[in-house]
Chain A
Amino acid sequence: MCLAVAGELVSSNHHPDPLWRVGDVSFAGVLRQVSLACVPTAQIGDQLLVHVGVALKVMEPER
């Protein structure tokens, strides 16, 4: 259960308090609401590594 899965951030509620900042992440087309509390720099279109509903890493674009 420590596996994290990558998906694309497609929207954010832009909440001013990171504790309540969430966005929709698309996992191969399936949308899931995810906490953005631990990825303050995340932008729409970023690939995020997500574990149990919390984004833990903004992935570097593939070169």
Chain B
Amino acid sequence: MSECVALLEQIRGCCSQRWTVMEVCGGQTHALLRHGLDRLLEDSIELIHGPGCPVCVTDSERIDQAIALVKKPEVTLCSYGDMLRVPGSDGSNLLGCRSEGADVRVIYSPLDVLEIARRETDRQVVFLAVGFETTAPATGLLVQQAHQQRLTNLRLLMAHVRVAPALDQLLGDPACTVQGLLAAGHVCAVMGEAEYVDLAAQHRRPIVMTGFSPEALLRGILCCIKQLEEGRHDLRNAYEAVVDQGGNRDARRLIETVFEPVDRVWRGLGVIGKGGYRLRDPYTALAVEPEELDGQPYGNGQCPSGQVLRGLMRPGECPSFGDACTPAHPLGAPMVSSEGACAAYFRFHH
């Protein structure tokens, strides 16, 4: 804790003005609010919460497709627990389907899905595959294992997303007020530095690869603020214990073997060019359907999640926050997910 106190003092002492910094990852948002770091630094820094919550950015059309699939009696749908309460375009969700008798299962790892498909050969098993580059290697392993074993009762509904193209679009928006970025440490542990070197140079904003503990977050913020004060816009690594320059080469090779980038609709943000992954040959037969871009670019009418995910609206400024929209009755995904910015504000600030 003494390290945190010293870092807070250094950050305050370093700031000649109030800087606007975005933490990309929803896990970082929750850690910042849980430890009260946003309030301890509010005179020096405005922290804006980024789109780094895969549950929050999964398009409502994908949820609709999952709901339609699981209503078929022969289908078993598997996904992570957070996905079950994310509303589709009509407000219904997978948890509701399960309460009506549909076979929806919560898994810890994509590799659990292989066991379900092998054990229950009379079921058509569908994995709702979501996540950023941190999660993509696990989905890639499932795909390779299922392909090698020639499983015929396992398919993937692909909703994987890529962080760097979304940040590229976000920083290129003239309305964007973000001056520096804290990149998501565990995504960087897989992908390494290359994409972020380009982003920092192209958008002339400092980017710091940052961890999740209070000390790691404060080290990332200090590194970012020092660059802003010096007028620099480099990529720096404040999470050296975990992030290697080249990332995890085996994981990256796995991703490149199994997936290829594809344009994807992000909930609230619209179509992000190359903002997702789809299966590539010889694995395409494992996808539920060909990738198609016919989603509504701006999701649920009552939830302005795009404004929140781009840092243009703080969660508490939403007219539905804490009233019509709560974690028990969410109108939009940022209130559902354990990494959503609205859920963090409700839990720690409300």
CB-CB contacts of B94-132 with A at 8 A, as 1s and 0s?
000000000000001111100000000000000000111
Bound: A52/B137 CA distance, A: 10
Q: Would you list which residues of chain A between 35 and 57 have a CB under 8 Å from chain B?
A: 35, 37-40, 49, 51-54, 56-57
Bound: A52/B59 CA distance, A: 22
Bound: A40/B251 CA distance, A: 11
Please tell me if B5 contacts chain A, counting CB pairs below 8 Å: no
Q: Decide if A37 touches B27 in the complex (CB within 8 Å).
A: no
Most buried by B among A3, A18, A53: A3
Which A residue sits closest to B252, measured CB to CB? A38
- List residues of B whose CB falls within 8 A of some A CB: 25-27, 52-55, 80, 82, 108-112, 130-132, 134-135, 137-138, 141, 144-145, 148, 184, 186-187, 189-190, 212, 241-242, 248, 250-251, 254, 337-339
Bound: A51/B134 CA distance, A: 7
Q: Decide if A59 touches B135 in the complex (CB within 8 Å).
A: no
Count residues of A near B (Cβ-Cβ below 8 Å).
22
Q: Decide if A52 touches B109 in the complex (CB within 8 Å).
A: yes
Q: Decide if B27 touches A59 in the complex (CB within 8 Å).
A: no
Bound: A39/B187 CA distance, A: 16
In the assembled complex, how far is the CB of residue B256 from the closest CB belonging to chain A, in whole angstroms? Answer: 13
Q: Decide if A51 touches B135 in the complex (CB within 8 Å).
A: yes
In the assembled complex, how far is the CB of residue A17 from the closest CB belonging to chain B, in whole angstroms? Answer: 9
Which B residue sits closest to A22, measured CB to CB? B111
Q: Which 6 residue pairs of A and B lie closest in terms of their CB atoms, listed nearest first?
A: A53-B109, A2-B134, A54-B138, A38-B251, A38-B250, A3-B27
- List residues of A whose CB falls within 8 A of some B CB: 1-4, 18-20, 32, 35, 37-40, 49, 51-54, 56-57, 59-60
Q: Decide if A56 touches B134 in the complex (CB within 8 Å).
A: yes
Most buried by B among A19, A35, A56, A59: A56
Selected contact of A2 from candidates B144, B148, B184, B242, CB within 8 Å: B184
Q: Decide if A2 touches B54 in the complex (CB within 8 Å).
A: yes
Selected contact of B55 from candidates A1, A3, A56, CB within 8 Å: A1
Given contact pairs A51-B135, A53-B111, A54-B141, a sample of 7 additional A-B residue pairs in the complex whose CB atoms are under 8 Å apart: A1-B55, A2-B27, A2-B52, A38-B137, A38-B248, A56-B186, A57-B242
Bound: A34/B109 CA distance, A: 9
Instruction: Report A-chain residues with C-beta under 8 Å of the C-beta of B141.
Output: 19, 35, 37, 54
Selected contact of A19 from candidates B53, B135, B145, CB within 8 Å: B145
In the assembled complex, how far is the CB of residue B338 from the closest CB belonging to chain A, in whole angstroms? Answer: 8
In the assembled complex, how far is the CB of residue B4 from the closest CB belonging to chain A, in whole angstroms? Answer: 18
Q: Decide if B186 touches A53 in the complex (CB within 8 Å).
A: no
